[in-house]
């Protein structure tokens, strides 16, 4: 879809042009990536591989695969970040990303109260100097990829 940055990133993955953090795991219907503009290690995103703008556009197969994917990503994040739980959020409202994607976010045990619940979005869109490093994202990506390959095939 024109002007959808999510579709552009999927095309780059299809061409093999994505760094490890932006191509953690690719299933039939969904991609798993680390958020590129987060100040929180373990802010993963599960992205529909075809352009859909709303949940009601998912097929049954996409919905089933999504459920298994979210559970596996959550298990992996807990194992590798030590998070207390994961949050799962979906809007698909950003003008550059009008494409169904689910934020699967590691909520850390020591996270301040003013960064819990919907306030966790304070970690997203932070200044470049506050972004999680590419090396840290790539390291986590490798761990999560191994887990997902084992759990999902």
Where residue 127 sits, what CATH number does that domain have? Answer: 3.30.428.10
Q: What is the largest CA-CA distance in the chain?
A: 41
State the Cα–Cα distance between residues 41 and 58, nearest whole angstrom. Answer: 29
pLDDT of residue 120: 98
State the Cα–Cα distance between residues 124 and 104, nearest whole angstrom. Answer: 13
One digit per residue, pLDDT tens: the chain, 153 residues?
678 999 999 999 999 999 999 999 999 999 999 999 999 999 999 999 999 999 999 999 999 999 999 999 999 999 999 999 999 999 999 888 999 999 999 999 999 999 999 999 999 999 999 999 999 999 999 999 999 999 998
State the Cα–Cα distance between residues 108 and 35, nearest whole angstrom. Answer: 16
Specify the residue for token string 């996270």: 111
Specify the residue for token string 């970690």: 123
Q: Which residues pair with 44 in a beta bridge?
A: 34, 104
pLDDT of residue 1: 66
Q: Which domain holds residue 109?
A: 5-152
**How many distinct structural domains can be found in the chain?**
1
């Amino acid at each position: 879809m024109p002007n959808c940055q999510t579709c552009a990133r999927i095309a780059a993955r299809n061409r093999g042009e994505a760094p490890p953090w932006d191509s953690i795991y690719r299933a039939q219907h969904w991609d798993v990536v680390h958020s590129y503009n987060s100040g929180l290690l373990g802010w993963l995103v599960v992205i529909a591989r075809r352009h859909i703008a709303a949940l009601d556009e998912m097929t049954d197969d996409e919905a089933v695969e999504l459920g298994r994917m979210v559970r596996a990503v959550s298990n992996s994040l807990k194992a590798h970040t030590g998070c207390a739980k994961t949050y799962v959020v979906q809007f698909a409202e950003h003008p550059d990303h009008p494409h169904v994607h689910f934020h699967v976010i590691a909520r850390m045990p020591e996270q301040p109260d003013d960064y819990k619940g919907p306030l966790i979005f304070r970690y997203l869109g932070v200044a470049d100097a506050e972004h999680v490093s590419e090396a840290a994202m790539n390291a986590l990506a490798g761990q999560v990829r191994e887990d997902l390959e084992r759990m999902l095939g």
